[in-house]
Amino acid sequence: MSKLGVCSWILGISDINALMEKVKMLGLDGVQLNGDWSDYNAKEVIEAADLFDLEIFAIDPFDSVPPAQGQANAETAIAFYKNIIDFAVQVKASWVNLQGLAKWTVNCKDPKESWEMLVHCCKTLDAYAQLKKVKIAYECVNRYESPMIHTAQKAMELIKAVGHRNFGLILNSFHMHIEEPDPLEALRKSEKLLFSYQISDSNRSGIGRGQVDFVKHHGVLEEIGFDGPIIIEVVLPELVPGNTPKTALERERLDEEIRRSIRVWENLKEKPHI
pLDDT above 80 (res 153): yes
- 21 Cβ partners below 8 Å, 6+ apart? 52
Rounded to two decimals, the pTM is: 0.94
What percent of the chain stands above pLDDT 70? 98
Q: Which domains are seen in the chain, by residue range? A: 4-266 (3.20.20.150)
**DSSP state, residue 271:** P
pLDDT above 70 (res 271): no
**Could you give the CA distance from residue 149 to residue 146 in angstroms, rounded to a whole number?**
8
Beta-carbon count within 10 A of 146 CB: 18
Average pLDDT (194-223) is 97
